[in-house]
Each structure stands twice: as C-alpha cells, then as structure tokens.
Amino acid sequence: MRSDAPFLVLQAYRENSLAVYATDLDGELLAQLGTSSDQGTHSQAWLQAPNTPWPQSAIPDAKGASAWVWPDGQALVALQGASGWDLISYDAERGRVWQLLQSVQQMKVLAWVSAREFLAAYEQDGSPGLLAGGVEADEVVDLGSRAGARSEVALSPDGRQATFQNDGLIVASTDGRSANRQPGAFSSLTISPDSRYLYYSTGHQLIRSDVDGRNARIIAEVGRNDRIWPMSASESYLAVQQQVGGDFDLRVMTPSGEVLSRAGRSSSAYWAHYLPSKQGLLIAVNENGQWQLDLADMKGENRRTLAQDMQDFSANPMPDNRRLVVAEERDYRWSLTLHDLQRDERQVLVQDVHRVWLLAANADRLIFAIQGDDGWSLQATNLVDGQTTELDAGASQGYPSAFFMPNGNEIIYEADEGIGVEQTALPDGQVLIEESFAGGIYRVDLQDPAPMLIRAGVNLLGASLVR
C-alpha cells in the first residue's frame, strides 16, 4: 500500500513466530515485512539521526528482528529465521517491499546514511560478502568476497565510498564502478565529515589518503613497538591517540600531520570526539577508575572540565549543536545534566536514580526515561523554561524508544511490560501456549499529557515520522 504519511515498524508474536510489519499512526496495516522464527534475543537496531539526535539502543533487547528507519519513508529490516538472516527494504511512498539478502549467515548492517546508502556484511555458504546500497538508484551492489563479516568497515558520510580491510585495505565506490587496494594490515578507519579524507593506521604509522584511497601518505610515525591511530576527525583537524610504552597521549593535528596540541601523558587511553558545528572536542580520560570529561576548542586547546569523578558517563549533543546532555554515574546512581556550551552554564535535570536513558530531543524539548526507587518513568524537559513533566509511569521494563511527531509537540513512544504468556484450551484437551509482547505503542501531546494507545502487544522497531 502506498503511503506518503508517517509510519511505524512494529513486531509482534504470531503463531509462535515474530511478524514484522508497517502501520500508520492509527495502527492500520500498511505492509507485511516478514517473519522471524528465531526465539533468541538480539540487540535492537540503533536509532539514527535525524529521527533522534543521537544513536540510542533499545532497552531491553528486542527479539528476532532489527530495523533502520528514516524520515523519508525508507526502512531496512533484518530478520533471522531457521535458515539464516534475511534483509528487507521497504519504500512506503511507493508501497514497495523487496528482498536484498536471503538465508545468509552472520549478517550485520555495519554502516548507513540512508536506506539507499548502507553497508551490510554477511556470509553465505562459507564465503564472505559485502552489500552496498545504491547511491543514485534502488539497486544494491554486491561487493563480493572482498570483505568478511568481521572485518573493520567504514562508510563515507556521503555514502559513496566503502573502506574495509581484507588482505589489504580496499576502498570501493558503493556503485561498484571503482576500487583501490593497498596491501598490508590496517585499522582504525576514520573519515572526515566532509567525505574528503580517509585516515587509518598500520600500528606505528598514521596514514592519510583521499576518501577514494588515492594519494596515500604517512603523516605521523612512532617507534615500531609503539602505536598511533586516529580517533575523531573534523573538516580541518584530527584527534590522534598515541601509545608509547605504557603511556597514552592525545594529540590534535592538521590533515598534513602538524601537531597543534597535546593532552599530556596518561596511564589509560583517552576518549575523544569532535562535536558538530565546530563546538569543540570532547576529551575524556579514566584515571584510577574515575572519568573526567573536558571540552576543548577545535585545536584541542583551552580545555574546561564539564564533569569529573564519574564511574561511567554518556555525552550527547543536542539538535541545536550548542548544548550537550551528559548522563553521569557516581556511587552506582545516575544524574542527567544539560550543558550550555556557549554560556558555560549547566542545569541538573534529574539526579540520584538507578538508570537514565536519553530517547529523543528537538529544539524545544528533551525526552528521557529514568528508573527511580519507585520504578520507571517517562519524562520531558522543556528547554525554554527548564520545567520537567512526567508523561507516563509504571512500565515494568521501561520505555525503550520515543520519536517526535512533525509538529514537535507530540511524541510516539513504547511502554514495555515484558513478555506475556497466553494459554488457550483446545477441543482435544491440549493447551496452546503463546508468547506476546505486553505493553504497547502510545501517542501523547506534550502540552497536555494524556497518553493514547495506538496498538497493544507490539514492540516498536522504528518510526518514520518527519516527512
């Protein structure tokens, strides 16, 4: 069925298997996407921007299927059955469902820009393969046995170049028209966000090439018993980790290899990541079991501490790219803090809870789930006035995912009550036992919270809402 409206990708138990399908926001069926006979547990897909401003895995793990869904009405669905994995593509606007891979082993979607620009590694009959989505057409390109399902793979942000290691470094265009190969063993593939440069490491050498693999040159080198590798790249700078003996050092370089700054020696490895829109470089290091999180400028200089003395943390940029939300664990309890990077201000949103999960954000609101002493709660913070509102509470397994509606004032979310068991007495005296998802999918107006049930007994794999 053709649809240019928003849709949901759901899964539900049907006759001892898991059925995956697409529905509209009223819960009406749009397309059957397949079934999975697998009863094991598999991590749900990472939900990718722009549906949410950061990747967020579901809690708890979903069963049987994974989905990757985009606002333009495209989706990929992976299903595991008795004979292996299937990969399905769905185009809602054209009402089209087609199969990309069938009955393969160890299938894994490795990287994606859209449903037409993705990489999936797999094995079939003992031979590895790499599938690339077509850049300008619906067709996919099988890059053949050039990469195994376990090899390191990178996809350029524009979706046009795939880089992977298999008996040398191979850079292939995702339309299948060209490929460059460099012999040797390489690792830590990093591509600049403008899809201009590819950085990688031989172990003791740091190499930069054009994104298509040409014009490779060594830009930094350490002793053969030491290591150097790229961590994060911006359009103009590169954060590099160096290990000499038992010590680590973080350096910021230009693409030509000129060192601009050093973080200093540490007994443990650094974590570094460039924020979008040139808001700076996040730097974290763990000393004696305690994390410290700093923000530096693009050159790695002028550092200031955002949080310290943490057991664990997560840091995620907001859609406006000037604020950062940080979840912090101390003494086995969590807090959530919003940092204004331009004003150097911070606001504590929640503290002293068992767990906190970031789910979605737009320019006006932040949606998150917390597990407190009294159970799970779904909450929204108004970023204009700083007020927090409880949207729902009491789901025994939490709130795995939430998505904003196009108007920005409503969300779709899942309340997870775990797995239920239904027993039906048959005429011959036997008892039919069937599992079912408890909880359901809801829609709520953030200005006047009153959740409305869309569909019960389902698990939400993804949503295409901003059309």
Say whether 145 sits in a helix, a strand or coil.
Answer: helix
DSSP character string of 148-172 = -TTS-EEE-TTS-EEEEESSSEEEE
Q: What was the pLDDT predicted at 418?
A: 85
Query: For residue 49, what pLDDT is reported?
Result: 35
Tell me what pLDDT residue 71 has. Answer: 81
Distance CA 43, CA 49 (A): 18
**Is there a cis peptide before residue 255, judged by omega within 30 degrees of 0?**
no
Q: What whole-number distance in Å separates Cα of residue 81 and Cα of residue 233? A: 39
Distance of alpha carbon 369 from alpha carbon 351, whole angstroms: 12
HSE-CB for 190 with a 13 A CA cutoff: 24
pLDDT in tens, 279-323: 999 999 998 889 999 999 999 999 999 999 999 998 989 988 889
Q: What is the pLDDT of residue 270?
A: 95
Q: What is the pLDDT of residue 50?
A: 32
What is the per-residue pLDDT for 261?
Answer: 97
The 3-state DSSP class for residue 146 equals helix
The pTM assigned to this predicted structure is 0.85
The CA-CA-CA angle for residues 150, 154, 155, to 5°, reads 130
- Give the total residue count for the chain: 467
**DSSP-assigned beta bridge partners for residue 455:** 441
Residue pair 404/359 in contact (Cβ under 8 Å)? The answer is no
Question: Residue written as tokens 């829109």?
Answer: 277
Q: What's the rounded Cα separation, in Å, for the pair 221 and 207?
A: 9
Per residue of the chain (467 residues), what is the pLDDT tens digit? 777 788 999 988 876 678 899 999 999 999 999 887 654 443 333 333 333 334 343 334 445 688 888 888 888 888 887 788 889 999 888 888 988 888 888 788 877 787 788 888 888 887 888 888 865 556 678 776 555 445 678 889 988 898 887 778 889 888 888 888 888 889 999 999 999 999 999 999 999 999 999 999 999 999 999 999 999 999 999 999 999 988 999 999 999 999 999 998 999 999 999 998 899 999 999 988 899 999 999 999 999 999 999 999 989 899 888 899 999 999 999 999 999 998 889 999 999 999 999 999 988 999 999 999 999 999 999 988 889 999 999 999 999 889 888 888 999 999 999 888 777 777 877 777 777 788 899 999 998 889 999 999 998 888 888 65
